């Protein structure tokens, strides 16, 4: 199963493509869709949308795992991320790929085994699980890989197989 993990944002949207097979995972590719600051926000959304369409076309994922939004202190930033997430979801939906959404705590629990794990712990475990020599960059790409791993683990669990 080829899984595209997405960490949505409007300045940087991280992505990671993971191949999951028989309990083992390997990283195929990771990176980020970026938009420059101080440009018209609607233009940034258009760039994200078109780049996401292109990524979906080239990656050909079987599933997309995307992080659910967590609104912290800065509501304005959260609203902008929500808009970015909206155009990302639209591109995925138009591509006809199944979408799976995970809360940050679910990703941490799945990758580290502890829902309140630190960002560093998640990154270190991602590196170990995939037998990587270095942490993926940027951090948003590493987060997206963790989201893809979360889906790989939940979709290949014994419970998931039993429910099918």
Helix ranges (DSSP H) in the chain: 41-59, 75-95, 104-112, 119-129, 139-155, 158-163
pTM above 0.85, yes or no: yes
pLDDT digits 0-9 by tens, 148-164: 999 999 876 544 444 44
pLDDT digits 0-9 by tens, 47-97: 999 999 999 999 999 999 999 987 666 667 788 999 999 999 999 999 999
Burial classification of residue 89, based on how many CB atoms lie within 10 Å of its CB (0-12 exposed, 13-18 middle, 19 or more buried): middle
Q: pLDDT averaged over the chain?
A: 91
Q: What residues are annotated to the active site?
A: 7, 67, 140
**CATH code for 2-163?**
3.30.420.10
What pLDDT is recorded for position 164? 46
Pair 51, 35: CB distance under 8 Å: no
The rounded distance, in Å, linking the Cα atoms of 133 and 135 is 7
Terminal Cα-to-Cα distance of the chain (whole angstroms): 16
Do β-strands 63-67 and 99-102 pair in parallel, antiparallel, or remain unpaired? Answer: parallel
Pair 67, 8: CB distance under 8 Å: yes
Domain limits of the chain? 2-163
What pLDDT is recorded for position 69? 83
pLDDT digits 0-9 by tens, 84-142: 999 999 999 999 999 999 999 999 999 999 988 988 999 999 999 999 999 889 999 99
What pLDDT is recorded for position 157? 55
């Amino acid at each position: 199963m080829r899984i595209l993990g997405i960490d949505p944002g409007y300045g940087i949207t991280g992505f990671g493509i993971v191949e999951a097979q028989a309990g083992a995972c390997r990283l195929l590719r990771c990176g980020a869709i970026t938009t420059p600051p101080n440009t018209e926000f609607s233009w940034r959304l258009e760039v994200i949308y078109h780049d996401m369409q292109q990524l979906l076309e080239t990656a050909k994922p079987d599933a997309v795992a995307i992080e659910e939004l967590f609104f912290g202190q800065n509501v304005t930033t959260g609203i902008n991320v929500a808009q970015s997430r909206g155009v990302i979801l639209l591109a995925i939906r138009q591509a006809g790929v199944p979408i799976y959404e995970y809360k940050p705590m679910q990703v941490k629990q799945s990758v580290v085994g502890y829902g309140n794990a630190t960002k560093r712990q998640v990154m270190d475990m991602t590196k170990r699980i995939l037998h990587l020599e270095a942490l993926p960059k940027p951090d948003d790409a590493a987060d997206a890989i963790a989201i893809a791993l979360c889906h790989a683990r939940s979709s290949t669990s014994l419970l998931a197989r039993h429910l099918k």
